[in-house]
Chains A and B, each alone.
Chain A
């Protein structure tokens, strides 16, 4: 039941753009104008403004929480901020603009429903605009906002706004994944069109940024069409004194796609074992059905050999299953990726050995064209690779399901997370043998 007083839905968004495009200032402005800044924070801002800002409050200091960030006036790592309006609750990831911190931008953006890409109205579209828009598209973020900032410095020129809009719309078709794209002319510093409509833009008929964030439709962002349940933890109370619990064998995990119902037939992959859902156990009592992204414990009709890393799926809309994978990766390590290297690959609840067999292509960030057969993929570059894993993965294309279509690569020894991987759709799906259910 919706509460009347409290926000009932969370929107997660990130802000990205080049250095000095005003990302942190924009978040500061959102917090400030939505009255989400606490008194002591305000006092601290005013104090620092008196000393360094010539009386002007520096809203960026609200999110740049590391000493090194304040010293250099840049954002190094993602800062998360939280605010709420009567309509929604927001989790904001303020992500860095510097090319060298792109991996932190990916961290903040990977869980976002919406990405705000800032463009400096004076600079127009630059490499970082293209890179960030590309990464947002690659990560499958459904909603995009292009905030054309510092409009006050181009005299609120409608022509300039359209020039930038045209330049971005010229390359958007190459990305073609966003559910919606909004262009908003703003001044983060002065607050125009951030929370309150600007009197400088009579020619702009769209919503303010906050109004858009409050109203953009996000209910369908989870995949509810194909049941996917990566087994996370086998729940065995093993309590000989309690008759009910003695034989309890539950499979705990977070539903990564679709809906599950009591009585539903399922496959366990990769083994191919079949069973039926006997009970959906939760702490609050058994339920008849559950859906993505709920965390539940499934009890099956049969006592099967199932462990962490296995995937339980519905008998319709089956996933792919292979050890030879084709994926797009964003590389995050100073040591470039070359073919033949071995890693640990974490996909869902499973970690397996993997070898990168070949580098197929690399994206040219200026043209968005693919350059075939690169010798290496360097830090912050994006490419397509072939990977072979020691065990087959049960997966979907990333475009279909962000949770079952994603993986990370971990370098053995240093244990560094070196790549974000997005699987391309499987070339063939698991072939089930339905007849066994007749037994």
Chain B
């Protein structure tokens, strides 16, 4: 006998599927931002649940800084192929050539430069809506986002003047040039994401699991040593992001908790090599903050990550 009752993951899932279908129905030129990271992996499964047996009615879009983990790129390309989706990749490098982005003097990280590249892609393909995997529990200002986040013709968010978002009635109306960012995972927490990955048996890139890796210490973080540069004819894309002789250098057992690119992702020391381990690590980290299991080994790594990942 059924109890007609949804548990928390089923509730979050049906909410997100409803939002995905609203996007498909209300917009003409939509895209799904897929990086290969854990949040966008959930988005893909939700898209399958929303649209199958039809094709997912939107291309995938990813912005590359040029410093990506090779494992992530391989995973991204393979998943897009498996799902029969068109994958559009736009890179910071191309944007330099086109003149829509410019290298910041003295700044190795290209994190900020992803913004003009994304806006350039939105303009190039005239996307009126991009689905993203951002979550409200990530950050204070993100906690203020709507599911349907309106952007003006400059791509700007006006947090003091957002559209009221009432019940599940999303106002998707736009004037020419304006666009919408839609976040189906708004109500999901980090724990929900991993529990969903577990329930749905979703594959994630292996860098989420503990592995041995050469790291170096910079800015209070363990950063991965970039791949070797063998082509002497071209400039080293990781120039400036390689360990200096003065920087501490170590082979460690690590994993990533959140993925940006190789320059801005701190590795955490962890022995978690399964989804269950990761869930236990996150849960234990919470307990540590409660002060009841300070001796727990797994929690140290999880806690350290939070400190490292300043924006969290």
Contacts and interface: CB of A to CB of B under 8 A. Distances in A.
Interface of A: 2-3, 5-10, 35-40, 42, 63, 65-66, 68, 76-82, 84, 89, 91, 103-104, 106-107, 110-111, 219, 224, 232-233, 235-238, 245, 248, 250, 252-254, 259, 281-284, 289, 291, 293-295, 308, 332, 344, 346-347, 349, 402-403, 406-408, 410, 415-417, 420
B162 A39 contact: no
Given A65-B144, A406-B169, A416-B163, A10 B11 contact: yes
Interface string B42-76: 00000011111111000000000000000000000
Nearest to B173: A415
B141 interface: yes
A344 B187 contact: no
B144 A39 contact: no
B82 to A, nearest CB: 15
Given A65-B144, A91-B187, A7 B164 contact: no
B50 A295 contact: yes
B312 A40 contact: yes
B195 A282 contact: no
Given A294-B14, A415-B173, A66 B144 contact: yes
A19 to B, nearest CB: 17
B234 interface: no
Interface stretch (B17-25, B32-40, B95-103): B17-25
A39 B15 CA distance: 30
Chain B: interface size category: 35 or more
A407 B312 CA distance: 36
A402 B187 CA distance: 20
Contact of B306 (A38, A103, A402, A403): A38
A149 B306 CA distance: 33
Contacts, number: 170
Contacts of B171: 346, 408, 410, 415, 417
13 contacts: A10-B12, A38-B312, A40-B306, A103-B164, A232-B18, A233-B24, A233-B25, A237-B53, A254-B168, A291-B2, A295-B13, A295-B18, A349-B25
B255 to A, nearest CB: 19
A76 to B, nearest CB: 6
B144 A406 contact: no
Contacts of A3: 7
A334 to B, nearest CB: 11
B143 interface: yes
Given A294-B14, A332-B164, A82 B289 contact: no
A245 B164 CA distance: 40
A65 B140 contact: yes
A291 B4 contact: yes
A236 B21 contact: no
A284 B48 CA distance: 10
Nearest to A219: B5
Contact of A420 (B12, B54, B159, B164): B164
A293 B4 CA distance: 10
A308 B27 CA distance: 13
Interface of B: 2, 4-8, 10-15, 17-18, 21-22, 24-25, 48-55, 136-137, 139-144, 146, 159-160, 162-169, 171, 173-175, 186-187, 189, 191, 195, 283, 286, 289-291, 303, 306-307, 310, 312
A81 B286 contact: no
B65 to A, nearest CB: 25
B53 A294 contact: no
A76 B160 contact: yes
Contacts of B307: 39-40
A254 to B, nearest CB: 4
Greatest chain B CB density within 10 A among A37, A68, A77 is at: A77
Nearest to A250: B53
B14 A415 contact: no
Contacts of B306: 38-40
A252 B48 contact: no
A87 to B, nearest CB: 12
Nearest to B168: A403
A65 B143 contact: yes
A283 B169 contact: no
Nearest to B188: A82
A284 to B, nearest CB: 8
B167 A66 contact: no
B167 A417 contact: no
A293 B48 contact: no
B48 A89 contact: no
B17 A254 contact: yes
Contacts of B50: 233, 252, 295
B160 A79 contact: no
A439 to B, nearest CB: 30
A219 to B, nearest CB: 6
B166 A406 contact: yes
A294 B49 CA distance: 12
Contacts of A7: 8
A409 B136 CA distance: 27
A162 B143 CA distance: 36
Contact of B290 (A35, A65, A254): A35
B164 A38 contact: no
A42 to B, nearest CB: 8
Contact of A293 (B14, B51, B173): B14
